[in-house]
Amino acid sequence: MTIRIEFIQNKDMPFLWDMLYEMIYMPKDKPLKEELLSRPEIRNLLDGWGRQGDKGFVAFNELNQPVGAAWYRLFDEQNKGYGFIDHKIPELDIALLQHYTGLGIGTMLLEKLLDQASTDGYNAISLSVDPENKAMNLYKKFGFVKVGESGTSWTMKLDL
């Protein structure tokens, strides 16, 4: 399988909203996409994409179809994501279409994103994940460590 990874462009935004829905881990009773993505605390994760500090990538298959995405952005105390640590540490989000998991694409996206964060001068990156989420294995493989809890989710951090 040939995978191509490119910077996020405006044309990719509908796919990013799809990926935002996919990445939200709710083992049961997950609301419909429109309902969940209309919640302010969820919309906050992508709304106004393109502001300073926003960076990310989309993975495309050999048919030029998007299959996954990873991005990071900065937040502050008044406008924070679930994995917020402080205003100098970007928070990452990553998701793949279900039938593309387990193929190494998440690893490729995360490597690219972490390289970009380092190039951009960040010293660390954070995320929020439910400990039951299969993605936890990927994060641990990269060296993310738990630095806090919020509800059922862990806040994890990787020093770059």
Segments making up each domain of the chain, as ranges: 4-121
Mean pLDDT, range 96-117, rounded to an integer: 96
pTM > 0.75: yes
Structure tokens at 71: 């991005």
- Region 89-101: mean pLDDT is 94
Of the pLDDT bands very low, low, confident and very high (cuts 50, 70, 90), residue 27 is low
**Can you name the CATH fold of 4-121?**
Aminopeptidase (3.40.630)
The answer to whether the beta carbons of residues 68 and 100 sit under 8 Å apart is: yes
Beta strands in the chain (DSSP E): 4-7, 55-60, 66-73, 91-96, 124-129, 145-150, 153-159
DSSP 89: S
The one-letter amino acid at 48:
G
Phi, psi dihedrals of residue 126, rounded to the nearest 5°: -125, 170
Percent of the chain with pLDDT over 70: 99
